[in-house]
Chain A
Amino acid sequence: MSGLPPYASTGQRVWYYSFRVICGLIFFFLIAPIMVIIPLSFNAEDFFTFTPEMLSLQPEGFSTKHYEDFFTNSDWQLALRNSLKIAPVATLLSVTLGTLAAIGLSQSHVPFRRAIMATLISPMIVPLIISATGMYFFYSNPYIPTPFGKIELPFTLTGTYWGVVLAHAALGIPFVIITVTATLVGFDRSLTRAAANMGAGPVRTFFKIQMPLILPGVVSGGLFAFITSFDEVVVVLFVGSAGQKTLPWQMFTGLREQISPTILAVATLLIAISIVLLFVLEVLRRRSERLRGMSPG
C-alpha cells in the first residue's frame, strides 16, 4: 500500500484518504491519553484539568510543585525506595532461573516439553487477582506441604519483603522464558559444538559463546520482568504489608481515595522511563537481528 495508483477511481481515492484519517484517529486514541498527562502534571493548581491560565500559556499557570511534592513527601519516597528494592531482586531471580530453564527447554529431547512450558507460562495467563488470592493464603502458612509431609519453615512470607520478591519473580518468569527461547530458536548449535571441539568445557562454552549471543534476549526478558514487578499492584496489595508499599500501590490508593495531582507528576516520570525502555529494547532487537545474520528491520 505505497501510494495510490494513477488510475484509481474517485471512490478508491475517498476510501484511501478516509482510511488514513481513521487510522490517524485510532493512533490519537492510543497516544493522546498518555500525552495529556504530561502538561497536566505541571498544573499550578490542584486540579485534574486545564486551567484557563494554562490554556492561554501564561507562565503562572504552570509550576513544578507536584514534582517537588513527590521528591519531598516521605510517603512517595518510601514507595519509590520500596519499588527500587523489590524489582531488581525479583528480576535477578527470574532472569537467572528463567535463562537456565530456557536453555534446557531448547534442547532437542525434552520430555513433557509442552506441559512444562504451559506451567512456566501460566503466571502470565492466570488472572492476577487469582494469583494474589492464592499467594495470600499460601504464603501465610509457616510450612510447605509436600506429598511426603510438611516441610516446616521458621517464618511466614505474607507481609514480608521476601514474600513480595518471590511473588514478583514468579510473575516475571514467563516473559524471560518467552524472550530467551525466542532468541535460542535462531541459535546456531554448531557454534557450541565447535567450541567443545576446540577444548572448551560446558561452562566456558556457555559464558564465552552462548551467553553473548543470547544476551539481547536475556536483557529484554529482564526488562520485561523488571517492568512487571515495577508496575505490579494487585499481588503486592495482598501479599505485602504497609512496609512494602510500592509506587503503583501508592498511586492506586491515591486514585481510589484522596486524589492528589502528585500522581500526575509520578505518571509523567514513569512515562519517561517507558520511553527509555522502549528505546533500549529497540536497540537490543536490532543488535540481536544483526548477530543472527538477519538484516535490520
Chain B
Amino acid sequence: MAEQMLAADGRPLKASLNRALRRQKIRALMLIAPLLIFILVSFVMPIADMLLRSIQNQIVGDTLPRTVVELADWDRAAGTEPDAVVFEALARDLAVAVEQKAHTRLGSRLNYELTGVSSLFRKTGRGVDEIGETVQDALEEAVPAFEERAAFGVMLGSPDWLAEIAAWREAGSDGRPPTFAPSGPMQEALPDTAALYQSFADLAVASEDDPLEERPWPIFYHVFAQEAQGIAFPENITAEAAALFVDGQRALDGAALDDPKALFIDIDDDWADPEVWQTIQTFSPDYTNGYFLNSVDLLKGPDGVEVRPEDEQIYITLFVRTMIMSMTIMGMCVLLGYPIAWLLANLPARTANLLMILVLLPFWTSLLVRTSAWKVLLQQQGVINDILVGIGIVADGNRLELINNQTGTIIAMTHILLPFMILPLYSVMKTIPPSYLRAAKSLGATDWTAFWRVYFPQSVPGIGAGCILVFILSIGYYITPEIVGGTKGVFISNRIAYHISSSLNWGLAAALGTILLAVVMILYWLYDRIVGIDNVKLGG
C-alpha cells in the first residue's frame, strides 16, 4: 500500500485540503448569511405569508367552532334547514362572536361566497342576546342571588381564581385581572356553561375589566338551564357555589326555554334557507380552494365546483387581457428596439455612446415622470391631439381617444419598457463580429439573406432575453395602467390592489397574486436557463 501523503503539520494531505475547502465554504457562507437572512425575513417570508393567505380559511372554524361541528352531520342535499341542535350551537357561538365583534368580519368573509350573508350576520348580531332572557327572568325571580353580576363567576370559578381576584381587587384593581380558571367539578357538571363563561371572562380580562362586575350574557342562563336538568350534585365545591347550583337547579326544573331556531328564523327568515347553511358548511374547513376557484371564475356550489354566472366572470378575461397586452407590448418593444440596438452595435464607439444616452436617459428617469409625460401627451386636450388638430389631420370635435383605454397603456408601457429590450439586445449584438455579414455577402448572399440567415439567428439570444425581461416586468405592472389605463386598459395587478385596499377581500387578492407569481416564476426560471441570472446587465 502506498504511503499516505502528509502535509507539513503531519496530517494526511487529503484531509488537510478538505479542511481548507470546508473553511473556505464556511467563510463564503458567513459573508452571504446576513443578507440571506435579511432577504428571507423582509422579502421571502412576506411572499410565503401571502401564498398561505390564499388558502387560509380559519375564520369560519374560529368564529363558529360549535356550529361547524354540529353542522358536519347535516345532510345538505335534503333541502331543509338543519335541526335545532345546530341552532343551539349557533346561539352559543354568536353570543361570543358578537361580544368579540367577530361576527361582522365572518359575515363579510361569507358574503364573498353568497351575497346577503353580511347583512344577515349583522342583523342577527343585534338580536342574538334575546336568547336566554326568558330563563334569566324566571331564575332571577325565583333565586334573587342570581341577580348579582358575580353569580356565575362565584358558582363556576375555582377557589384559587376567586382568591386571586379578591387579591387583585385589594391591590386596587390595576392592570389585568387574573385569568379565569373553572373549578374542576363544575366544569365536569356544566361543561358548556363553563366554556362560555371562560370566553366571557377572557374578554373582560383582555380589556382589564373585573369579570365579576360585568353584566352576564343571557345565553349563560339558557345553557345553564339545559345542563343543570337532571344531573347529580357535583361533589367538592364551595358552599356558595353549591347553594347557587342547588337553588338554580331547583328553580329551573321544568322552566320554559327559548327556542333559538324559532328566534333566529324570526330575526331573519334567511336562516331557514338551506343555501346559507350550505355556504357555511362548504367553507367550514380551515383551508379552502375557494379563493382560487373564484380567481378562475368558478365557484363552490352545492354540488361541487361549477362555473360562475356569466355576468360575474371577470378574472379569466382579465388574465387573458393582461397576457395579450403584455405580448403586444413585448412585440412593440422588439419591433422598435431591434433597429436601435443594431444601429448602436454597428456605429463607431463614440457616436454609439452618445446615442446610448438617448436610451439610458429614459431608463434612469423616474417612472412617475414618464407616466405623467404620457398623461400630458395623450389627453383629449393634450399635446398630441392639439398637434393633430393644428395640422388638420383630425377635426376638433373628433379628437382621438388615446388615454384611459388599452391604447394608452400599450403606448406608455412600450416607451417605459423599451430600454429593457434595447440593452440586452445591444449586449448580444456587440458580440456578433461584422465580418460574418461581409463573408456572407462576398459568398453571394443578398443584403436580406445575409441578415436573415446569418445575422438574425445570432441575435436570437438577445431577443429571447429582452422578451422575457419585458414580459416579466409588463405582466406585473401596476402604476402606469392605473393612471393611463382607465377601466379597459388595466392589468391583473390593478385588480389585486383593488381587493386589498377597497373590497378588502384579501384571500382573493392573495389567490390572484399567487397565480400571477406562478407565471412570473416560470418565466424567471426560463430566463435563468436561457440567459443565466449572473448575466443580467444593467445600464449597458
Task: Tell me the A residues contacting B by CB distance below 8 Å.
Answer: 1-2, 12, 15, 19, 22-23, 26-27, 29-31, 33-34, 36-37, 40, 47-50, 93, 97-98, 100-101, 103-105, 107-111, 114, 116-123, 125-131, 133-139, 141, 144-145, 166-167, 169-170, 173, 175, 178-179, 181-182, 220, 224, 227, 230-231, 233-234, 238, 248, 251-252, 255-256, 259, 263-264, 267, 270-271, 274-275, 277-278, 281, 285, 297
Contacts and interface: CB of A to CB of B under 8 A. Distances in A.
B476 A129 contact: yes
Contacts of A47: 381
B536 interface: yes
B372 interface: yes
B265 interface: no
B354 to A, nearest CB: 11
Given A29-B336, A30-B415, A130-B47, A120 B370 contact: no
Given A33-B373, A109-B21, A144-B41, 20 more contacts: A23-B340, A31-B358, A37-B372, A50-B383, A107-B28, A110-B28, A110-B29, A114-B533, A126-B476, A127-B520, A130-B517, A131-B46, A133-B496, A134-B513, A178-B536, A234-B479, A278-B360, A278-B361, A278-B364, A281-B539
B195 interface: no
B418 A111 contact: no
B507 to A, nearest CB: 11
B412 to A, nearest CB: 9
Contacts of B419: 30
A283 to B, nearest CB: 13
B447 to A, nearest CB: 7
B479 A252 contact: yes
B69 interface: no
A267 B368 contact: yes
A121 B25 contact: no
Contact of A138 (B46, B358, B477): B46
Contacts of B528: 114, 118
Contacts of A145: 45
B31 A100 contact: yes
B24 to A, nearest CB: 5
A181 B381 CA distance: 48
A127 to B, nearest CB: 2
B35 A101 contact: yes
Given A31-B362, A123-B39, A274-B361, A23 B343 contact: yes
Given A125-B520, A263-B372, A281-B539, A170 B45 contact: no
Contacts of A98: 35
Nearest to A141: B49
Contacts of A12: 447
B383 to A, nearest CB: 6
15 contacts: A26-B340, A27-B355, A31-B358, A37-B369, A49-B376, A110-B25, A118-B524, A126-B520, A134-B47, A169-B42, A233-B367, A234-B479, A270-B368, A274-B364, A277-B364
A111 B524 CA distance: 21
Nearest to A276: B364
A137 B49 contact: yes
Interface in B477-531: 477-479, 482-483, 493, 496-497, 500-501, 506, 509-510, 513, 516-517, 520, 524, 527-528
A15 B339 CA distance: 13
A37 B373 contact: yes
A40 B336 CA distance: 27
Contacts of B367: 231, 233, 248
B376 A137 contact: no
Contact of A34 (B21, B41, B362, B520): B362
Q: Give the dominant DSSP class at A's interface.
A: helix
Interface in B336-379: 336, 339-340, 343, 346-349, 353, 355, 357-362, 364-377, 379
Contacts of A248: 366-368
A30 B358 contact: yes
Nearest to A168: B42
A179 to B, nearest CB: 6
B36 interface: yes
A238 B365 contact: no
B513 A130 contact: yes
B159 to A, nearest CB: 33
B476 A101 contact: no
A118 B523 CA distance: 13
Interface of B: 21, 24-25, 27-32, 34-36, 38-50, 53, 336, 339-340, 343, 346-349, 353, 355, 357-362, 364-377, 379, 381-383, 386, 415, 418-419, 434, 447, 472, 475-479, 482-483, 493, 496-497, 500-501, 506, 509-510, 513, 516-517, 520, 524, 527-528, 533-534, 536-539
A101 B493 contact: no
B366 A133 contact: no
Contacts of A123: 39, 43
B369 A271 contact: yes
B517 A126 contact: yes
Contact of B36 (A40, A119, A227): A119
A270 B53 contact: no
B386 A49 contact: yes
A1 B520 contact: no
A137 B476 contact: no
Contacts of A125: 472, 520, 524, 527
Contacts of A275: 361
A270 B481 CA distance: 21
Contact of A100 (B34, B386, B447): B34
Nearest to B49: A138
A148 B66 CA distance: 31
Contact of B478 (A117, A129, A256): A129
Nearest to A232: B367
B377 A36 contact: yes
A169 B361 CA distance: 24
